Chain A
Amino acid sequence: MGAAGRVVLVTGVSRDLGRKFARAAAEHPRVARVIGVDVVPPRGDVGGMSFVRADIRNPVIAKVIAKEDVDTVVHMSVISTPGSTGGRNMMKELNVIGTMQLLAACQKAPSVQNLVVKSTTTVYGASNRDPAMFTEDMEPRRAPRSGYAKDVAEIEGYVRGFARRRPDVNVTLLRCANVIGPSVVSPLASYLRMPAIPTVLGFDPRLQVLHERDLLGVLGHAVSAGRPGTYNIAGDGVLTLSQIVRRLQRPTVPLPGFALGGLGGALRSARIADFSPEMRSLLTYGRGVDTTRMKDELGFTPRYTTAEALDDFAANVVPTGGRTDRLLARLEERLAERTALPEAPRG
């Protein structure tokens, strides 16, 4: 972190959030260079970022780090759905092996002084035995046995191992709530964009979301502040799913829990939405995380509360329901006009 400015390596820049963060970081005055790494070139404006086409799953990444004299690594390429990458095996390969290789490369590179890993609150799981608000010290009630949650748990394990072996490096682990925003493509965002939202019959989960700008903000803050530790990152407040769909003015289709799994398969093949097991348990039991440490120790305050982030998201989603609300609004309007008139004609 000399006068020349910092050299930041960002993984996972082919995806929207990674690219946006890399672009924003490149504009920062104290950052000399931003190197974006991914197997696929990013689409869209990359700004001042220089892109290196490399696979973090093979040792080439170590050479990039050594050659460019990278001092800060931001790991953002943990993916939550197989999506376009292929199957679940591919996803696991990218997430777990990619992280292992990246951390191995960082361990060998004396220049690296900061490591920021974007993790997720999915690591806490969601079940009926959960406390209302998870703090950073709590473990999931049931250890995840498959899927994304297990990947993340393993990744966090490797990150903790790295932090033990390189105590001189500031390791910041950000457990982010589900990110939504006008342009975000994430499992929760595509779920909420469906014209009719399937819900689990008889359950009304509590959800927390993080606005995409706050995600970029907290990553930038973590890079510049250098406060090592594990932090929950989420907008203030919680909303229940029923509140969310009402705010989005969407009709719901309540289905029993097991039917949602079948529907999920159909929707996945139709590429509309994805109901992974983690997503299903989240939509059944919900989850809340305590963000006291984010505010007090990391010193970051999100600009959007959960409700405000959702309103921003809703502004870009065309309502498909909301008839009752419109009817009530019309009634209210009439009533206001009526009371505004003098009382005499009612006589």
Chain B
Amino acid sequence: MDDAEIIPIGTRGRPGRGTGQRPSAAARSLAGKSGKPAPKPAPKSGPQPGPTSGPQSAEPSEPIASPQPVEPVEQEQVEPAAPYGPATTHERSPLGGIPAGDWVAAFDTAAREVFGEEWEPQLARLLAFLRRRVSGDYVVDEYGFDAELTQRFFLAVLRPIAEKWFRVEVFGAENIPATGGALVVSNHSGTVPVDGLMTMVSIHDHTGRALRPLGADLVFKLPFVSSLARKAGATLACAEDAERMLRGGELVGVWPEGFKGIGKPYSDRYKLQRFGRGGFVSAALRTGVPIVPLSVVGAEEIYPLVGNIPSLARALGLPYLPITPFFPLLGPLGLIPLPSKWLLEFGEPIRTDEFEPGAADDPMLVFNVTDQVRETIQQTLYALLMKRSSVFA
């Protein structure tokens, strides 16, 4: 050991950042806990091909700690190898794992790289979030809605699609009540219910409220789709759930055209289908919440449905099996939606609290309100189509 000429980069086996004088704060806390310094440097400064990676991984932190000249690699190689020898590396089997201390040190460096100097509080928040998720310590409501996951993950994934791919433009967002129950009624199109997802993102970003979609029973039968749908706030489109949610003051979204609307051929685009049996109007009447009509232009063009294979669809238990100009032809590539320009317009809310108490049981009144909503959406669709200069503009 030639002490005079060596300014060590390594730590001589002690945990530390490489001054060789006094270990860093992180290193001290490491040393306090684990209490077995010997095995730790061993995998890093392993005898043979190891060293090249060992010192390199130590270097990035070096300038931060103290701007020392970087020593030639050979010295580094000799120095820590001498006192401990290669023996420890042999004891540890390759599958024995990396000690937790090393993980922490590596994580430490990485965190600084990723989060910058203010990384500690940021990382603490991220860790707290991850731990909450991993230990199951989060809340879902009675419908299975996981607000945290939806906001932090689902909407974050959908947002760029809405903003960059479809360039969604929203009009009349002020028509959505800021509080209390309300029923958003929308036209349905696009072969795959992308319009529902885009509506969820747009409503959340414009009003901060979570849209609770009502889905067909098929949604809750399909694996993966069903668990995602419940976590994102959906529930089954049935009178019980709709009324329960509206009474609970939620903003509920409904697509009364159902499969008739979403699976209609491209030639029928922007022609509203029958609005179910008016169940959504009864639910709104019973709970006295306003109906907000929503017209979506753009969703029709994402997967232009030009054909259908009814026999195969029946065999698979699906309402339709779409053929688009690209879908079976280009394989998975055909699943990419066309980047049409989307316009969303929320109309004036239709009040339902002025009717008499028994109004929901008056079929004629229910049909009238249904037609009123349908007509509003249809007229707005025409107006929006006039506004849009071309499909992809």
Contact = CB atoms under 8 A, between A and B. Distances in A.
Interface string B44-66: 00000000000000000000010
Contacts of B136: 239, 242-247
Contact of B224 (A202, A257, A347): A202
B128 A206 contact: no
B312 interface: no
A260 to B, nearest CB: 12
Contacts of B225: 202
B52 to A, nearest CB: 28
Contacts of A249: 135
Interface residues of A, number: 49
B138 interface: yes
B134 A246 contact: yes
Contact of B65 (A257, A324, A347): A347
A327 interface: yes
Contact of B217 (A129, A201, A324, A331): A129
Contacts of B100: 327, 330
Nearest to A340: B29
Contact of A203 (B104, B107, B133, B227): B227
Given A338-B25, A346-B25, A128 B221 contact: yes
A328 B141 CA distance: 26
B127 A128 contact: no
A134 to B, nearest CB: 9
A38 to B, nearest CB: 37
A300 interface: no
A338 B30 CA distance: 10
Interface in B108-138: 120-121, 123-124, 127-128, 130-131, 133-138
Interface string A302-333: 00000000000000000000101101111110
A96 B141 CA distance: 36
Contact of A131 (B130, B221, B238): B238
A325 B221 CA distance: 32
A268 interface: no
B350 to A, nearest CB: 25
Contact of A334 (B29, B130, B142, B226): B29
B266 interface: no
B140 interface: yes
Nearest to B117: A346
Interface in B193-239: 217-218, 220-227, 230-231, 235-236, 238
B134 A324 contact: yes
Contact of B26 (A327, A338, A347): A338
Contacts of A130: 236
Say whether chain B's binding surface is mostly helix, strand, loop, or mixed.
helix
A331 B225 CA distance: 34
A338 B135 contact: no
Contacts of B138: 243
B353 interface: no
Contacts of A338: 25-26, 29, 120
Given A203-B223, A327-B103, A239 B25 contact: no
Contact of B127 (A132, A201, A328): A328
Nearest to A256: B223
A133 interface: yes
A328 B134 contact: yes
Interface of B: 24-26, 29-30, 65, 100, 103-104, 107, 120-121, 123-124, 127-128, 130-131, 133-144, 146, 217-218, 220-227, 230-231, 235-236, 238, 240-241, 244
Interface of A: 128-133, 135, 138, 200-204, 206, 237-240, 242-247, 249, 256-257, 285-286, 288, 322, 324-325, 327-332, 334-339, 341, 345-347
Given A243-B140, A331-B127, A345-B24, 8 more contacts: A133-B240, A202-B222, A206-B140, A243-B138, A246-B136, A334-B26, A336-B124, A338-B120
9 contacts: A132-B235, A132-B236, A239-B136, A239-B140, A246-B135, A330-B104, A332-B124, A335-B120, A335-B123
